[in-house]
Amino acid sequence: MRVLVTGASGRLGRVVLPRLRDGFAVRAVSRHPRGGSDVEWVVADLATGEGLTAAVAEVEAVLHLASSPTRRTHEVDVLGTRRLVEAAGQAGVGHLVFVSIVGVDRVPFGYYRHKLAAEQVVTAGPVPWSILRATQFPEFLEELLRAAGRLGPVIGDPAVLAQPVDPADVAARLAGMLAAGPSYVVEEYGGPQVLRFDEAVHAWRAARRSRRPLLRVRIPGRLGRALRAGGLTTTATPTGTRTWADHLADTYGGTGRR
Ligand SMILES: NC(=O)c1ccc[n+]([C@@H]2O[C@H](COP(=O)([O-])OP(=O)(O)OC[C@H]3O[C@@H](n4cnc5c(N)ncnc54)[C@H](OP(=O)(O)O)[C@@H]3O)[C@@H](O)[C@H]2O)c1
């Protein structure tokens, strides 16, 4: 099966490409020319639509991972998804798999509103679809912790709940969805453990042998309530297999696996 992967150069895309090597012929999209032996790279831009018609030609499925969380999000995530879906519909693509985020329907982040709108573009569009909402990748959680520790102590709401899921687990799930064909279902997929923010910080500090204290700050309002109530977590099964401790052990060494 020939599959077009958008966002192929991103954190998830880089793990997905080798996962699809067996069983799929992969065409990968980037805004910039790239090379690679097993993958056919094409240049396309969701923000302008440039290159999309050629990108979707003669593919049977599209795995849509591309996203722009911090700039031109409406243009890329919502209008760009519409451009992609329309081009795929005209090309007769048989299945579009879209990756979204657990909590887009209940946590009031601006980015999540755009992801939810992009989901609606997919479900209303002409191409048979499947959607996977994943929880946070551990690398993203680490970026948040580094940002939260910029001023010295790690600042955060100890009771916020997270459920990191490894991109390799997500990639395996996505390969299964591509093989299975359109489900017309929005599936949720999380990591094997739900952690409080203070537990995640504690394990992170131990792995890095850091003594930074946690400065406890309660996030106010609707956002704080949603985050503490588990808005970013899911009870869906199956879950991924790799824990936050596995990620920390792989990244920083040590024997902290559980
Ligand atoms: N990060 C997380 O914790 C997390 C959790 C759950 C779900 N997700 C979802 O998983 C997906 C992948 O996330 P990620 O963390 O791997 O993303 P990422 O590392 O930020 O990569 C973003 C990708 O989007 C592409 N892109 C950005 N603007 C584009 C445009 N105008 N046209 C075409 N491509 C464009 C980039 O490609 P080029 O720069 O090569 O053009 C890049 O490959 C996203 O949909 C995200 O919402 C992420």
Distance 107 CA to ligand 1 centre (A): 20
The pLDDT of residue 254 is above 90: no
Mean pLDDT of 40-47: 98
Distance of CA 124 to the CA centre of its chain: 21
Q: What are phi and psi of 72, to 5 degrees?
A: 50, 40
Give the model confidence (pLDDT) of 124-164 as tens digits. Answer: 999 999 999 999 999 999 999 999 998 999 999 999 999 99
What are the tokens at 197? 């923010």
Strands (E), the chain: 2-6, 25-30, 40-43, 61-64, 95-101, 129-134, 154-156, 161-162, 186-189, 195-196, 214-216
Sign of CA dihedral 148, 149, 155, 156: positive
> From CA 206, how far away is CA 190, in angstroms rounded?
24
Distance CA 241, CA 235 (A): 14
Average pLDDT of the chain to the nearest whole number: 96
Residue 162: CB within 6 Å of ligand 1?
Answer: no
Rounded mean pLDDT, 84-99: 98
Q: Which of 140, 63, 144, 127 is closest to 97 using CA atoms?
A: 63
Work out the pLDDT band at 258, boundaries 50, 70, 90: very low
From the CB of 101, is ligand 1 less than 6 Å away?
yes
Angle at 208 between CA 215 and CA 190, to 5 degrees: 80
Average pLDDT rounded to a whole number, residues 179-202: 97
* Ligand 1 atom at minimal distance to the Cα of residue 14: 16
- Contacts of residue 180, Cβ cutoff 8 Å, sequence gap at least 6: 130
Give pLDDT, residue 75: 98
Q: What phi and psi values does residue 220 have, to the nearest 5 degrees?
A: -80, 170
Contact 94, 126 (CB under 8 A): no
Q: How confident is the model at residue 55 (pLDDT cuts 50, 70, 90)?
A: very high
How many whole angstroms separate alpha carbon 253 and alpha carbon 258? Answer: 14
| Report field, pTM of the whole predicted structure over 0.85 | yes
- Ligand 1 atom closest to Cα of residue 98: 45
Tokens of 6: 């958008």
Q: How far is the CA of 64 from the centre of ligand 1 (A)?
A: 9
pLDDT of amino acid 257:
45
Residue with tokens 């030609």: 57
For residue 41, the model assigns a pLDDT of: 97
Residue 36, pLDDT > 80, answer: no
Q: Look at residue 255 in the predicted model and tell me its pLDDT.
A: 52
Residue located nearest, by CA, to atom 14 of ligand 1: 11
Phi, psi of 112 (to 5 degrees): -65, -35
Measuring from atom 40 of ligand 1, which residue has the nearest CA? 30
- Give the three-class secondary structure for 66: coil
Question: For 151-210, where are the alpha helices, taking DSSP H only?
Answer: 167-180, 197-207
> Measured from the CB, is residue 234 less than 6 Å from ligand 1?
no
Residue 191 near ligand 1, beta carbon < 6 Å: no
Q: How far apart are the C-alpha atoms of 169 and 174, rounded to whole Å? A: 9
What is the 181 CA–ligand 1 centroid distance (Å)? 23
Q: Which atom of ligand 1 is nearest to the CA of 75?
A: 31
CB 99 less than 6 A from any atom of ligand 1: yes
Q: How far is ligand 1, taken at its centre, from the CA of residue 196, in Å?
A: 26
Nearest CA to ligand 1 atom 38: 30
